[in-house]
Structure 1
C-alpha cells in the first residue's frame, strides 16, 4: 500500500464515521484513522489537495466519496439535522456551514467548490395537501438498504453524477414522504400524480420510490405498465436489474447449478452474464432486511399462482399483532409484481388478492401506475350512466377495485402527458384523481426534449438562422412529399453516416455505441407497416451503400448537413474533418445495419414478420424500425438517432407520446435528426407551448403561504390546460372538462393569444387592427435601452396610456375566433382602479431589419414570424424581451403591454428602407398584469382558465360567453 493509498483510506474512514453525526473536523478524524495504516502517513490539507488534483473524476474512491458526502450535507433538511444551523438546503450558506464543520483550509474549501459545486437546488414542483410528517432522516438511516444500493448502481453502472443522484433523491423523497406511514394505526390512502417529460427517466424515479418505500415498510408493490408486452417486459427487466438484484432473483439457487437455468429468466442476458445486475452482497433477509419476492418475471405477466396462493400471503411472526405493526412489518418480505394494464390479467390479480389470508386492510401497499393517462382514466360518457350509478371502463374499474380492497394502498400515477389525469372528477373517491399531491419533475441534465427541436422564442430573422443558433435548423428536416422516396432516402443516408460517425468516435476512445436505430412511423395500421418495410428495403437495395456508388450522395449529405451541425454543436467529441475520414467506417456501419441484407425490423402485432431481434437487452441493435403504437408510448427505442415521422395525430397527449426521439443522447446529440411534415412541425410546436404553459402554471400554484402551508391543494388547483393548436386529449377523456373564462393569462399575469390572430389573407381585418393600435403607437414616443442582469439589452419605444384607453383599444381588436380573447377582455374590463390604473406600452426595436411607418406614426420595427399552413402567423413573443420587460420597474397598479407589428418572415423587404403602411401586418400583443393581480392570486380570484375540471360535488362554475 502506497502512502497516498493509506492517506486516502484514512480520509475515507473519517468520512464513513460521519454518516450519522454529519460533518466534523476532517483532518483530525483522518489522523485518528491513520493510526491503523502507519504513523508516517501525511494527513494534511496540502496532501489532500495534491491527491485530489491528481485523481480521476470517474473512478477515484476518495474523490467520489467526498462528492457524495458534500452533496448529502448540502441537501440535508434543517429539521432533520441540528448542525445545519437553520441554513437552507443547497445554498452557499449551507456549504459554508459544512466547510466550517469540516475545518478545512481556505485553499481546500476553494478546491472543493471547484470540484464539487453546490447543486442548484431542488427543481421539483410540488402541490400537495398538508400531511403528517413521518419520513424522517432518522428513519431513512435506520432502514436504508434498497435505496443506497440503487443509488450506487446508478452511480457506478450508469454513470450518474452526484448532481443527478441528489436530484433523484429529492424528487423521490417528495413522493414517499406524502404517502401514508405504513405502520400507522388508522389506514389512509394517498393518491398522487408525478409529471415527467417524455423519455426523461420516469422509470428511474418510480424505481427510486419503490426502493425507498420498501425500506420504509411497504410490502406489496404493484407496478401497472402500459398496454403492451414489450413495455411490461422492458419495465420488469429494468426494475429487476437495478433494484431487485441477483440475490432476490436467484432465491438461494447456486448460479452455476442446473437449477439456475430454470429458475433465472436472464441466463441469456448480456448484462446478467457481465455482472451488471445489482448485487446486495448477501440475501437481504440474512441481514434483517426484506427480501423481494417477484410475482412476475421477464417472460411471464401476472398469472393465477400455480405454486399456491401462499406465495402472495404475508407471514406475521407475532400473530397477536396486525401485519402493519412494526414487530411484524419489518420482519416481513416484500412482494413485487409488474403487470400490464390488461383486463384479464388485472382480473386474476384482484381475484387472488381476495383469497390471501393476511387481512388486506393490514397490508401497506404501493400501486405505481406508469403511463397513468393511458387506459387508467375512465372514458365512459356520463350521459349514458344509469341514474345514480357511474359506469367505468374495465381498467379504471379494476384499479378502483384494487384501491377499494387495499385501504393502506397508495396510488401514484406517472405520466409525461397529464391532461387526462387532471380532468378527472376530484369528488369521485373511487377514481384516481391526485387528491394528495401533484408533483412536476425538473427537466434532467443532458435530456433532449421537445424544446430542443423548435425555435419557440427565437427572434433571429429566418435569413440569419444557423445550425448554431437555431434548433430547428440543426435537428429538423421537413418532408415535402411523404409518398415519394426522396425524403426517406435522405433520412436513411443520414442514418448510415451517423452510424459511421459513431464507429469513428469509438475508435478514438469513446465508449461503445451498443445500439444505433432509426424509427419510421407513418401509420398505426400493420398493412402499411409491411408496405413501408418493403419500400425501405427497395431504397436500401438501390442506394449502393456497399460500394463507392453511394459516395457522391453521402459526401453531399455529410458536407452540407452532418459536418456543419457537428462543427456547430459537438464540443470536444471527435468528429471527422472530411468525408474521406469517414469512408473506412461506412462499410462496417452498413453491415451492422443490414445483417443478411435486411435493414428493417417491423414492430407490430403481426406474427409472421421478423420482430424478435428488437430486444435491446439481448442484442446489439443497429436497424431501421418500422412500427406504430407498440413504439409510440413508454417503450424506449435505444440508440434512436434518426426519426422519420409523418403520422397525423389529433390530440396533444398522443402527439407528444409519439416523440420517441426525446431522451438522452450522450455522445451523439449532434447526429440526431427528425424528418417530419410542415404541418406536424407546427403541431409539435403548439404542443410544446401547451406543455410549457401547464408546467409554468403548476410552478406558480406551488408556492406556500407565509406559514409554510400549501396555498392550494391539487383539488383546488384549476388545471390550466391551454391549447395552442390541437385538443389536449381525446374527447372521451374530456367529458369532465369545460372551457371557462380566462382571467389574466397565468397567475403571474401574462396574456398571449398568439394562436388566435386573424389569417394573413384577411387583409381588411388586419388593417382594422392596425387602426385600432394607433393610440398605442402614438403614445410610445420615448426611445429607451432596456436591460436586465445577464440578459441582452435592446432598444424599445415606450409610453403610457390610461386603463380606459387600453380597454378601448383591446375591445376594437378582431381575432380569428371571437372567443380567443373575449374572456380575457371581460375580466380586464372589470378590474377597478385599486388593481390597475394605467399601462406602459413597449415596442421592442431591432438594430437592423425591416421598419415601417404605420398610419403616419413614428417608424417602428417589423418582426418576422413564420406563417403556418392555415395562413396564420406563428408569432410568439421573444423570451429575452419578456424577461427584461417583466423586471421593468413600474408602479404597483401599472400593467405592461408589449406590441409587436409582425409580418411573414419570408416576405422580401429591404433593410434600412422605411415602408409606409405595408400590407399584411399583424398586431401581436402580450399583456403583463400589474403586481396587484399577483396579490389577487392568493385569494384564488386570478389566473387564466382555458379548460377546467368539473367537481361534481360543487355548483357549476360560471362561464363567460365570449
Structure 2
C-alpha cells in the first residue's frame, strides 16, 4: 500500500484535535494539497487495516491512538451522554466520523474498545487547576515517558489508563504556581505486583512538567529496592542527556563515574530527549542520587539544592521562575541515617523552601512510614513517633509546599492512621484506588471466586484453581520434587516458545520461589535439601525425562491446550525434550540452582543472582521468608511453593508474589500451596482459603470505595476521614492504629437500591443462633410446598444455562423489617446502617410494597432437607466461616443471586410486574434469598444438625441476601450518611475516646 494513505490519515486526524469529525472531508483536504492520487475510499481503508501488520502496523497504531483518546475522554462536549470506554462511546465516534458498518467491524477488530474500569477517587473538594489545556501546554517529560511506554509494547489503552490514573493524582495536589501555601496528603491503592511504579513514574513526569521542582521518592527499606526504583526512573523518565550532563557518550574517558553508560546492556533503551532538555526550551532534571549511591550529605552544604531565579524579585513558584528552573529528583531508602542527612541539609536552606513546590512519593507506604508507637505510653499531650514516621513528618514540616502521596497494595495501616494528627501521613485529601490493569494475574486468576460450577463440572479450561493451583497436604507427599520438575519443564517451554518466534524478552528471567518459614536458620537447611534434590533429579537421564514427560502429559499439556491463547505448544514431550538440557544448564549456572533471600541488611541482598537489572539471565530457585513477602520483585516468577501462614491481613496480601504480569507464559504459572483435607480442616490452617478470604475482604473494600465515590450534586459522598468507620463496618478484624482514639464520624446509614445486601458476621453462640431462628419462624411458616423454577442465561465459563428450583413466599415489608430488627449479630451494630435504610422503605424514604422470599433448593443428589420450627422441609446448605474470623465468605450462590438480580433489574426496566420461571416481582418488590445454613465442611455436618426430620435451631445460621428494588431511594441519590458522635466536635474526624 502507498505511504500516501498513511500521510493523509495522519494529517486528517491531526486536524481533529478537539473532536472526531467527518473523516472523508478532512482526508479530502489533506489529499488535495499533497496526495491527490491517494485512494480515500472505505474499501481501501479496510484493505490496508487487514494487511497493515505486514506493512509495519503504522496505520493501525495511528488509529489506535486516536480512537483510544476519544474512548477515554470524560464527558466530551461532542458526546456528553455516553460513558467513557463503552461500546456506546465508540459508536458515537464512528457516527461523527461517518463510517459505514463494514469499516466499523474491521476497526473494532483492529482496535477493540478497552472496557477498563475507571480510577476510583475518594477526595475532599478541591479547586481545579490541572486542566487538560495546562497539561498539554507543558508535557515534555510526560510525552517522553509516554513514548517510552509505546516502545516497551504498552497498548494505547494501557497508556491512556495510566494517563488517567496519574492525572487523577496530580490534579489533587496543590497548584505549584499558587501563592497560597497548601499541603495535600493522599494514598494510591494498587494491587500486589501490579505496576504501581509505572503510576508514580507517570505522576512524577506530570508533576515536574506542571512545576514541582523537588521530588523525593522513598524507595523501600533496602539498597536493592531503592536501586531498582532509581534505575526505573532514570531509564524511563530522566533519560540519557540528564544522566550524562554534557559528557560525550562516544568518549569512554568522559563516561568514567557516570551511571549505566558503557556498562549497562540496557543503556541504549534509556529515554533519549534529543538534546539537553534545557536546550529544547524545557528544563533539566538533576539527580541527587544515583543507581549505586543513596543520598549523602551534599558537598559544599546544600548548593545542589539552590535554585536560580530568572527574576530575583519574584518568588520561585512564580511561572516566570518556575518553568526555567531545573528539577531535582532523589530516590532515597527509608532508613533513619539517610533521612536524617536529608533533613539536616534541608534545615540549612533559608527562605527558598517556603517557595519550593515539592512532592514526596512513598512507595510501600504502609511499611515503616506509619507511626506504630503505642499511644498509651505517650506523655500527656505529646505524640511519640517511630523513627521513619518522625523523619517524614519533619520533611513535611520543612517543605510547606510539599505534597505527600503514599503507594501501597495493602492500605489498611494507612487508612487507620489518626486523621487528627496533622503531622502524620493520613491521606486526608484523597484516596485513589487504581483499576486492575489488563494482563494482570491476580486473585481471580488463582481462585474460582463465585464460580457457579459444581466441583464435578470444573476442568482446567473453566476452573482457575484446577489450572494453576496444586495443593500441598500435610501427611502426604510435600510435592517439592514435583514443583522443581515443573520449574525445569516450564523453563524448557519458554525456550521452545522463543525458538518458535515468540519474543524472548519476558523469558529473560525464569524463577521459582520457595517459602516455608520465616526462620532464617531453616532457609539454609531447605536450600541444601533443594540442592541435593536437584543433583539427584537426573534431568539428563531416561528416568528424569520420563518424569517430565508424565508431568507434561497430565498437567502442563492439558492446561496449555486450554489456555495458551495462540502461543505455540509442543505436540508431545519429545518435541520439548531438546530444550530441557538448556533449561537445566541455565538454572544450574554457577554450580548452584538455589539462592537464599533473607536477612535484614543490604549485605544479605548484595548477590549478583538477585540483581534482575544487571544480570542477563536469572534462572534460579529463590528460598526465603519475610523479605520475599514484601517489596522485592521476583522477575520471571513461574513456580511458587508456599507453606507459610499468618493471621495478619497485610502480611498475607503481600505474600502474593505470584501475582503480576506473565506475558507469554500465563498458562505455565503454578502455585503449590498449603491445603488441608476437608475432613480435618480447621479455622485457619488452609493457607489457600485464608488467602482467598483476605482477598475477598480487600475486594469488598475496593467495591465500597467505587460505590461511594460517585459525586452527588457535584460533591463527594464520602471524604477520606470517613473511610475508617466505613471499613470497620465490614472488616471487624482490622484495628485502628491509634488505639486511644475513636472515630467521630459514625456510619449511620447505607442505602442499597437495586444492590445486594449480604451480612456475613452471624453469631457463633448456639443460644443466639436459636433465638435468631425463632425470630425467623413467622416468615418460614409462609413457605408452602410448591416450588418455582429459575433458569439463568448461559454463563461464560461453561456455556450452560443454570437452572434451580426454590420455595417462594410473599411477605409484607413490615413483616420482614420486624424480623430483621430483632436479630442478634456477632458484633453489635454491624447491621444497623443497613437496617436504618431498610426501615425507611415504608414510605418515609421510598415505598416497598412487599418482598419475595426465595429459599433455594439444592439438586436432588445433594439435598439435605429438614423442617425448621414446623416449616415445610427446607434445603439446608453448608457454609464455612472465614479463617480466623466470625464472618462467612459468600452466602448466596452465584446462580441464585443472578436470578434475584434479574428479577429486580427486569422489573425496574419494564416498570411493571415480571416473571422468571413462575416467580414474579413488581417495580416496588424486593427480593430476599433465605438460607438455613449449617456451619461445616461435609454433608455429615449437615445431617448431624437434624433429628427426626427437624433441624436443631441452635445449629442453624438463618442467613439471607436482600436486594431492595431500584426504586427504593430518594432524589438525592446519596448512598451513605454519617453523623458526628459528639456534636461539639462535628467538624473533627476523630475525638478522644471516653475515659482516655
Aligned to 1:126: 121
Rounded to whole Å, the distance in 1 between the matches of 2:897 and 2:926 is 13
Structure 1 distance, partners of 2:82, 2:819, is 50
Kindly report which structure 2 residues correspond to 1:904-919, keeping only aligned pairs within 5 A, or say none: 906-907=938-939, 916-917=949-950
- 1:699 aligned onto 2:711: no
Deviation at 1:331, TM superposition (A): 0.7
Gaps of 5+ in 1: none
Asked whether the 8 Å contact 1:254–1:260 carries over to 2, the reply is yes
1:808 offset after TM fit, Å?
A: 6.4
Within a 5 Å distance, the mapping from 1:64-79 to structure 2 comes to 64-78=61-75
TM-aligned CA distance change 1:942 to 1:136, over 3 Å: closer
* Corresponding residue of 1:798: 808
Q: Say if 1:25 and 1:248 are closer, same or farther in 2 by CA, change over 3 A.
A: farther
Alignment of 1:572-583 (within 5 A): 572-583=566-577
More deviation, 452-461/527-536: 452-461
Q: Classify 1:141/1:939 alpha carbon distance in 2 versus 1 (closer, same or farther; 3 Å).
A: closer
In the alignment, what sits opposite 2:582?
588
Q: Is the 8 A contact 1:769 1:813 kept in 2?
A: yes
From the superposition, tell whether residues 735 and 243 of structure 1 become closer, same or farther in structure 2 (CA, over 3 Å): farther
Cross-structure match for 1:116: 111
**Pair 1:498 & 2:490 matched:** yes
Secondary structure at the aligned position of 1:888 is classed as: helix
Q: From the superposition, tell whether residues 785 and 72 of structure 1 become closer, same or farther in structure 2 (CA, over 3 Å).
A: same
**TM-score between both structures, scaled by the size of structure 1:** 0.88
| Residues in 1 aligned to 2:114 and 2:940: alpha-carbon distance in whole angstroms | 48
Secondary structure in structure 1 of the residue aligned to 2:369: coil
* Equivalent residues of 2:725, 2:746 under 8 A apart: no
Deviating more after overlay: 552-561 vs 208-217:
552-561
Counterparts of 2:740 and 2:565, CA distance in 1: 49
CA distances 1:777-831 after superposition (whole Å, capped 9, x unpaired): 442445334467786554432212345654665688787x565967679868976
Aligned to 1:842: 854
- Structure-1 separation of matches of 2:244 and 2:128: 37
Which one of the candidate residues 333, 337, 340 is aligned to 1:347? 340
The answer to whether the Cα contact below 8 Å between 1:227 and 1:342 also exists between their aligned partners in 2 is yes
**Separation in 1, partners of 2:532, 2:762:** 45
Paired residues of 1:217 and 1:329 also in contact (CA < 8 A): yes
Equivalent of 2:782, from 779, 782, 787? 779
Structure 1 SS opposite 2:473: coil
Tell whether 2:891 aligns with 1:899: no
Q: Does 1:15 align with 2:13?
A: yes
Structure 1 residues 358, 415: closer, same or farther in 2, change over 3 A? Answer: same
1:517: which partner in 2?
511
Taking the aligned partners of 1:665 and 1:915, their CA distance within structure 2 comes to: 55
Residue equivalent to 1:412: 405
Are the aligned partners of 2:866 and 2:876 in contact in 1 as well (CA < 8 Å)? no
Task: Give the superposition deviation at 1:898.
Answer: 1.5
Looking at structure 2, the residues matched to 264 and 704 of structure 1 have their Cα atoms a distance apart, in angstroms, of 50
Alignment partner, residue 206 of structure 2: 212
Q: Is the 2:597–2:627 contact (alpha carbons within 8 Å) kept by the matching residues of 1?
A: yes
Preserved contact between residue 224 and residue 606 of structure 2 (Cα < 8 Å): no
2:470 alignment partner, SS class: strand
| Aligned pairs (5 A) from 1:265-276 | 265-267=259-261, 271-273=265-267, 275-276=268-269
2:960 is aligned with 1:925 = yes
Encode CA deviations 1:721-771: one digit per residue, 9 max, x unaligned.
Answer: 369899447x75766567999877785674434464659xx8x99888777
**Which stretch of structure 1 is more off in the superposition, 716-725 or 878-887?**
716-725
> Whole-Å Cα distance in 1 between the matches of residues 776 and 90 of structure 2?
53
Please tell me whether residue 155 in structure 1 is matched to residue 191 in structure 2. Answer: no
Greater shift, 427-436 or 484-493, is seen at 484-493
* Partner SS for 1:421: helix
**CA distance, structure 2, for counterparts of residue 521 and residue 123 of structure 1:** 35
Q: Does 1:611 align with 2:611?
A: no
Counterpart residue number, 1:42: 39
CA distance in structure 1 between the partners assigned to 2:339 and 2:578 by the alignment:
53
Q: CA deviation at 1:637?
A: 0.8
Look up the SS of the partner of 1:414 in the other structure. strand
What's the counterpart of residue 876 of structure 1?
891
Which has the larger displacement, 865-874 or 135-144?
A: 865-874
- Change in Cα spacing, 1:714 to 1:297, as seen in structure 2 (3 Å) is same
| Secondary structure of the structure 1 residue equivalent to 2:400 | coil
Alpha-carbon distance in 1 for matches of 2:969, 2:520: 52
Maintained 8 Å contact 1:313/1:357: no
Q: Deviations over 1:315-357 (max 9, x none)?
A: 1111011111111111111111111111111111111122235
What is residue 353 of structure 2 aligned with on the other side? 360
Decide whether the 8 Å contact of 2:375 with 2:739 is kept in 1: no
The match for 2:719 is 713
Q: Is the 8 A contact 2:866 2:875 kept in 1?
A: no
Cα displacement (A) at 1:566: 2.3
Task: Give the TM-score taking structure 2 as reference length.
Answer: 0.86
Pick closer, same or farther for the CA change 1:736–1:641 going to 2, 3 Å. farther
How many residues matched? 939
Q: CA deviation at 1:77?
A: 4.1
8 Å Cα contact 1:313-1:358 kept in structure 2: no
Aligned equivalent of 2:222, options 211, 221, 228: 228
- Superposition deviation, residue 682 in structure 1: 2.2
* Residue 290 (structure 1) aligned to one of 283, 293, 297: 283
Give yes or no for contact 1:807–1:828 (8 Å, CA) kept in 2: no
- For the aligned residue pairs, the C-alpha RMSD in angstroms reads 3.8
Q: Report the 3-state secondary structure (helix = DSSP H, G, I; strand = E; otherwise coil) of the residue aligned with 2:726.
A: coil
Q: Partner residue of 1:938?
A: 974
Unaligned runs of 5+ in 2: 676-685, 796-800, 905-920
Deviation for aligned residue 1:269: 5.9
Query: Does 1:136 pair with 2:134?
Result: no
Q: Provide closer, same or farther for how the CA distance between residues 525 and 268 of structure 1 changes in structure 2, counting only shifts above 3 A.
A: farther
Deviations 1:296-319 (A, max 9, x none): 111111111136522122111110
Offset at 1:174? 1.1
Within 1, Cα distance between the matches of 2:175 and 2:747?
40
CA contact (8 A) 1:794 1:845 kept: no
Q: Does 1:447 align with 2:446?
A: no
Q: Could you tell me how far 1:202 is from its partner in structure 2? A: 0.9
Distance in 2 separating the partners of 1:907 and 1:871: 22
CA separation of 1:111/1:213 partners in 2, compared to 1, >3 Å: closer, same or farther? same
**Hey, what's the Cα distance between the residues in 2 that align with 1:57 and 1:897?**
57
Q: For residues 148-193 of structure 1, give each alpha carbon's deviation from its aligned partner in whole angstroms, at most 9, with x where no partner exists.
A: 2211211221x11111111111111111111111111112112111
Match of 1:474 among 467, 471, 489: 467
Contact 1:850–1:909 under 8 Å retained in 2: no
Are 1:176 and 2:176 matched, yes or no?
Answer: no
8 Å contact kept, 1:522–1:646: yes
Matched residues in 2 for 1:576 and 1:775: separation?
63
Contact 2:741 2:992 in 1 (8 A): no
- After superposition, the Cα gap between the structure-2 partners of 1:479 and 1:104, relative to the gap in structure 1 and judged at 3 Å, is closer
